[in-house]
Structure 1
């Protein structure tokens, strides 16, 4: 991938000062997640332009993008009716009111802070209240232990509570369910087969862990082979791998970004991206989800300020709570027009999207070299753990030298390396492309049947993450309970992972699912929809 020069500034691939963390210049710092271009810790920088070379250019700015010529469809995001919104809010307020009454009348079964005079509280008061009196009511549907491989089916370890979800005990019973909750997109999370055999052989040769970071004694020939194979798989010059997917963003971004950088971040970006940007102490402005028009406005405003060395757009390929896909061709056109840089998180898309399983880059037919930083994880489509950052060789060298993960984090386990390598080779083979096709067919079939039921389904038709809106916490819990009773294991998602009034059931599909298994699940969903009244869609 060729280095991309930003007018008047440096590139992410440059090595002179991008990792330097400077002091904030007096602006008040706010959190990433605010709309309308709010600032998040501006850093000192020289007054340089991004793609604008003279005052004359400022007086005659480039014409706006013609978005009618590009595909910027964000996916299906039907808004609920006013009545549904009002009832959802009323239910939440009632739940909180009952929580306050409970707090006044009964002593909570939790430890209390002592000897804290003169110190800041350990916990935010609202978070304390929310976890005790709202989350606790639905706590039984979260953190459910399993006692099997998370394949097309899994085994749940059943629990019971005698004190209204303050604590749980195992009943000794187990329940076999069809698995619609795990990120096993291509079905490589299996107890047997080529991937399991490769992982076993690596564990016998190298052991289960290396007891060191990559920069010290934590590298084996497997790590080098995995990095070379990943770069070839993605079609870029080089890649570096890490032992934890979340840490790939959280510890990798501070090594790439620093003084003089402005980040334009999608409002639905993952917590790992947000943490990485905070640790890098860069300025952040947020645009509405997949809104290319607002992103263009923010980019033009930033260029007009003539203060940024580089402007970086940070997005995801597939968004795990919305099931939406980034409109990458439109974003690449915007990047080229304004001289921006692009950081693409393919955690949920690499392996699962595109005819060859190379992610949204493959799905949209975009050249890998048009994305400056390709990030992804091995925890979803590869049935393993860890992540990677890939791109130009100079960029990868900079991540190794200045990112925290390579020097300080524990190296990826050899068995995990072998699992990923086996899965990556399988995807590149004709049989692997059949898996990718089967996943796409399963996804479209499942989404089509859900929409026919009259439920609200978010996202793109090819996204294997399928959110079904239930809106209220009570219906989220009731849906998970009833699906589990019918032999379907899935995940309910609510605040703080989603807005308070947009609780949902998140189905994750797999190439390992047979059509008969999916139809059984859909029949169970149909029964629950009828029982709980989940037909919120206004147009079927």
Structure 2
């Protein structure tokens, strides 16, 4: 076998290494050169951090200031010492200043103080919480309920608790931002179906069932879609999901306390048992003039939320006074549903009158307390439509002393079908004259 190196090659290599070993003087010289270059050299790149906001937001100018109210928020609100008819906040049942609710809150503050200073599972719960959970579960006719200190985190947490990688979630394209964030956190495969299109959902379910029979499947809906005010065809979708063994997660944030003969929501409205829904989400912030939200369902569903729902575990418990307001509000609704009846009449009356404004399109359902008005002209861009609505809202405020809201959909694929809209919140306190005056103001604005 031939050697790898000959003796001559080895000797040359050793001599070369010895001759090239740097001496102390050479090392000092090299060190000095590096030090000088470090201080005098100019970087070949010039990094500047990018803007925190998008270019489109710069083009729209500075963010406007938040309207500040002084005094109570009820049928009227006070802005800059002037009174406005309030069609902006969702005080659907008109109980935000009801004496019974105020009294219940005052008594609870005297007993428990203003807050808990701790998460529910770390000594942040009191007996009023358990009472509220029992009352809501009994009202909805389900096994159990768990409350959240803010509605926004309720459905968001529920989705990521039950659905995960490898699962498939079918979602109506109208769903709100809280649901969308929960969908992203779940890491599931998301399939959107067209707004309230049962046939489209049926085709998607059949296709997915054929291709992936082993995957868990969920369907996420809203009783009344907050972004459009349209009513979900829950009866048809429930039958469809039963046939395909798909679990339903229903957000009743708008419809709880509003739909159904007794205010139990979309399930009661369509004659469906609440237990047919795997998860029901609701809020106390609209119909009950309180704060927070809930997830209701079976005992297993509620238990999972208590110990795995991030929004429940990693946040301070709801202040006790809000739980007492909810408990009293549920009693009031079950004792007397006259507010609910008046709300329903006002919703239908408002809808009929708004249809007379020819320049605007109302996409919401007649019985929805949330009405969305968009510009009917199909030839104008979304930016132009948004500007027209901004001017109308400003005119309503300045010239007619009426406060309304606005929805400006983002540019995501999921809500690309939506248009900018004026959002109106109907409540049980409105009189016919209030509705007539508002519609007349709109007609004057768009006629001019």
- Work out whether the TM-score is over 0.5: yes
**CA distance in structure 2 between the partners assigned to 1:155 and 1:507 by the alignment:** 18
Alignment of structure 1 residues 295-444 onto 2, 5 Å = 295-306=201-212, 308-429=214-335, 431=336, 433-444=337-348
State the secondary structure of the residue aligned to 2:78: strand
State the secondary structure of the residue aligned to 1:295: helix
2:162 pairs with 1:276: no
Query: Which structure has more helix as a fraction of its residues?
Result: 2
Task: Name the counterpart of 2:438.
Answer: 521
Higher RCO (C-alpha 8 Å, min separation 6): 1
User: RMSD in angstroms over aligned alpha carbons?
Assistant: 2.0
Following TM superposition, the consecutive aligned residue runs of length 4 or more in structure 1 with deviations greater than 3 angstroms are 116-123, 497-501
Give the one of 356, 362, 371 matched to 1:457: 362
Task: Name the counterpart of 2:22.
Answer: none
Structure 1: state its 5+ residue gaps: 1-115, 158-173, 532-540
**CA distance in structure 2 between the partners assigned to 1:460 and 1:193 by the alignment:** 32
**CA distance in structure 2 between the partners assigned to 1:134 and 1:236 by the alignment:** 48
1:122 Cα deviation after fit: 5.7
CA contact (8 A) 2:101 2:329 kept: yes
**CA distance in structure 1 between the partners assigned to 2:406 and 2:122 by the alignment:** 41
**CA distance in structure 1 between the partners assigned to 2:148 and 2:430 by the alignment:** 29
CA contact (8 A) 1:262 1:308 kept: no
Structure 2: state its 5+ residue gaps: 1-44, 376-381
Give the one of 384, 391, 394 matched to 1:478: 391
| CA distance 1:117–1:297, shift in 2 (3 Å) | farther
Task: Name the counterpart of 2:111.
Answer: 205
Alignment of structure 1 residues 90-239 onto 2, 5 Å = 121=50, 123=52, 128-134=54-60, 136=62, 139-140=63-64, 143-157=66-80, 174-190=81-97, 192-239=98-145
Residues 412-466 of structure 1, C-alpha deviations (whole Å, 9 max, x = no match): 111111111111111111x2x1111111100111110111232311111111111
Residues 134-167 of structure 1, C-alpha deviations (whole Å, 9 max, x = no match): 264xx54x7322223221111123xxxxxxxxxx
**CA distance in structure 1 between the partners assigned to 2:223 and 2:249 by the alignment:** 10
1:307 Cα deviation after fit: 5.2
| CA distance 1:494–1:407, shift in 2 (3 Å) | closer
| CA distance 1:503–1:259, shift in 2 (3 Å) | closer
Residues 314-337 of structure 1, C-alpha deviations (whole Å, 9 max, x = no match): 011111121101001101110111
CA contact (8 A) 2:357 2:439 kept: no
1:371 Cα deviation after fit: 1.1
Residues 3-61 of structure 1, C-alpha deviations (whole Å, 9 max, x = no match): xxxxxxxxxxxxxxxxxxxxxxxxxxxxxxxxxxxxxxxxxxxxxxxxxxxxxxxxxxx
Alignment of structure 1 residues 62-73 onto 2, 5 Å = none
CA contact (8 A) 1:180 1:490 kept: yes
2:404 pairs with 1:490: yes
- How many equivalent residue pairs? 391
1:194 Cα deviation after fit: 0.6
CA contact (8 A) 1:311 1:341 kept: yes
1:501 Cα deviation after fit: 8.0
Residues 288-314 of structure 1, C-alpha deviations (whole Å, 9 max, x = no match): 111111111111121112354310000
Task: Name the counterpart of 2:429.
Answer: 512
State the secondary structure of the residue aligned to 1:216: helix
CA contact (8 A) 1:260 1:308 kept: no
TM-score (norm 1): 0.69
